[in-house]
Amino acid sequence: MSNRVEIFEAGPRDGLQNEKRMISAAEKIALIDLLSQAGFRRIEVASFVSPKWVPQMADGAEVLAGMTRVRGVSYAALTPNLRGYEGARAAKVDEVSVFASASEGFSRANLNATIAESLERFGPVLKAAKDDGIPVRGYVSCVTDCPFDGPVPPGDVARVVGWLRGAGCYEVSLGDTIGQGTPETVDAMLDAALNEWDAAHLAGHFHDTNGRALENVDAALARGLRVFDACVGGLGGCPYAPGAAGNVATEAVLAHVEGLGFQTGLDAGVIADAAQMARGMRPH
């Protein structure tokens, strides 16, 4: 099994979308430009969602226009519908993400749609992206617990993973949106998800509300997953998921997996500087 782990850096998106203070495009660009020097293959830099829903992400086009692209880095953005996809494409993102939920309660709160309706909306995004040659990543939120519906049956996660695979996503990231997962519930969820797709196509996205994200990373590593989403400085959360604290910190995942003997190709010094910059963006 591979001894490489990839950290998918989501700080400029998942990290900053939940901050109370409006963070300027210039500050976001400074963070992205620093992260671009750290060795990441993929960095999620923006969301092309409704500015009424997430005002913090309204300046995605400005951010993409102002940042310095580094060759070899794929710059990603969230796109909930065709309108978002078109904005992301015009801003010249390298890849987009569609994001679904395994639970109806969170789907309604985050997308104002049932799971089925949200998947229906993603269809045209996936088709347009395919025509344009733009890779699409899929997310499934609330893979173990939902802030509205409680524990989520693993089969419900597997069903959405199967849909995203069938619709053409190149990878699916499994989100413990509110950080309530345990190694046991993560393992049970993965047991079901792996019936739909192999570990090479799945990523772990663990929020750290209960301080168990690294244990959940270990549970996923044991199942063969080698891609983990993280945010420098441990910032973040979802404004539509009450109780969602920060994402697991990039620097913590990096130290953890390298301590286990995995290679990441990342520069810990640059990441430490970026983490300090990201933490400095919080209101004091």
Reduced to 3 states (helix: H, G, I; strand: E, B; else coil), residue 247 is strand
Which of ligand HMG, Mg ion, none does residue 195 bind (CB under 5 to 8 Å by kind)?
A: none
The strand pair at 202-206 and 171-176 is best described as parallel
Q: Pick from 19, 33, 41, 53 the residue near ligand HMG by CB under 6 A.
A: 53
Q: Is 231 in the site for ligand HMG (CB under 6 A)?
A: no
Beta strands in 147-272 (DSSP E): 150-151, 171-176, 202-206, 227-230
Q: Is 205 in the site for ligand HMG (CB under 6 A)?
A: yes
Catalytic annotation present for 238: yes
Q: Which residues face 77 on adjacent strands?
A: 46, 96
Closest Cα partner for 151 from 161, 142, 159, 160?
142
Q: Both tokens of residue 145?
A: 């617990």
Residue among 67 and 111 whose Cβ is closer to ligand HMG: 111
d(C-alpha 177, C-alpha 46), whole Å: 18
Residue among 27 and 44 whose Cβ is closer to ligand HMG: 44
The residues in 92-111 that bind ligand HMG, with binding defined as CB under 6 A, are: 99, 110-111
Residue 12: C-alpha distances to residues 19, 29, 223 (Å): 11, 9, 28
d(C-alpha 78, C-alpha 10), whole Å: 11
The strand pair at 136-141 and 95-101 is best described as parallel
Neighbours of 19 (CB within 10 A): 17
Closest Cα partner for 147 from 117, 174, 110, 121?
110
Nearest approach, Cβ of residue 78 and ligand HMG (Å): 6
Q: Is 54 in the site for ligand HMG (CB under 6 A)?
A: yes
Residue among 1 and 165 whose Cβ is closer to ligand HMG: 165
Residue among 22 and 260 whose Cβ is closer to ligand HMG: 22
Contact map string, positions 117 to 156, toward ligand HMG, x by CB under 6 A: ----------------------x-x---------------
In our burial notation (b when 16+ CB lie closer than 10 A, e otherwise), range 185-212 reads bbbbbbebbbebbebebbbbbbbbbbeb
Q: Is 233 in the site for ligand HMG (CB under 6 A)?
A: no
Nearest approach, Cβ of residue 105 and Mg ion (Å): 16
Catalytic residue, chosen from 142, 169, 231, 238, is: 238
Which residue sits closest to Mg ion, CB atoms considered? 14
Which of Mg ion, ligand HMG, none does residue 53 bind (CB under 5 to 8 Å by kind)?
A: ligand HMG
Q: Pick from 9, 11, 12, 14 the residue near Mg ion by CB under 5 A.
A: 14
Q: Is 177 in the site for ligand HMG (CB under 6 A)?
A: yes
Q: Which residues sit at the interface with ligand HMG, rule CB under 6 A?
A: 14, 17, 47-54, 78, 80-81, 83-84, 87, 99, 110-112, 139, 141, 175, 177, 205, 207, 238, 240
Catalytic residues: 238
